[in-house]
Amino acid sequence: AQKVTQAQTEISVVEKEDVTLDCVYETRDTTYYLFWYKQPPSGELVFLIRRNSFDEQNEISGRYSWNFQKSTSSFNFTITASQVVDSAVYFCALSEAGNQGGKLIFGQGTELSVKP
Amino acid sequence: EAGVVQSPRYKIIEKKQPVAFWCNPISGHNTLYWYRQNLGQGPELLIRYENEEAVDDSQLPKDRFSAERLKGVDSTLKIQPAELGDSAVYLCASSFLDKRDTEAFFGQGTRLTVV
């Protein structure tokens, strides 16, 4: 069965602090894809990153970085030097490449609040 | 490039009334999804179309929900009759699923309140 767990429901930090959002997933497929989406108050889900199961290289994009570890089934997301505009709900999601290809299984989301 | 467009943004109806949501995906995207997002939860898939065909509707409550994607472009999701528990945000997304690893792009959603 596929499952995504984001254990942190809410996180509050002060601007310029670093923050890591945790994501743990479960799947039986050997080929799968992991995603992070941002949902600001406007409601639209904004795509941030996609990772396939064969690529465990960590990735950095500006203040964002992602740590993918298959050994622990984790795909954590770090924001460096957080800003107020980073305040949003962040979702981790899993997509399996088999018959369910394209279907996203989302975690419960982590609400990040960055205070000035 | 225009994103996924959904309408209406908000809808308030009384229980037992019908309601319909409309979605226009990104041009050229062959796959369209409807997700439901309950308050404080992640979105859950209701139905997925590849072109005109519904390839995954296992999570769609078929007694009251229906969807169509005529001509493989825009789509309509209908609820009849609505129940109090249907209050949620209904999100439409689209992707080009020629390769299995393309990301889905989401619209802003329709927030439904059933009173």
At B59-92, the pLDDT tens digits run 999 999 999 998 889 999 999 999 999 999 999 9
Q: Which of A102, A36, A46 is nearest to B98 (CA)?
A: A102
Yes or no, beta carbons of A102 and B105 under 8 Å apart: no
Indicate whether B13 pLDDT > 60: yes
Distances (CA, A) of B47 to A105, A113, B50: 13, 32, 10
* Facing residue for A109 by CB, picked from B42, B50, B109: B42
**A97-101, A109-113, B15-19, B53-57: lowest mean pLDDT where?**
A97-101
**If pLDDT is split at 50, 70 and 90, which confidence band does B40 have?**
very high
Q: Which of A53, A48, A33 is nearest to B105 (CA)?
A: A48
Yes or no, beta carbons of A35 and B103 under 8 Å apart: yes
Model pLDDT, residue A83: 97
pLDDT tens digits for chain A (116 residues)? 789 999 999 999 999 999 999 999 999 988 899 999 999 988 889 999 988 898 888 888 999 999 999 999 999 999 999 999 999 999 999 998 765 567 899 999 999 999 99
Yes or no, beta carbons of A43 and B111 under 8 Å apart: yes
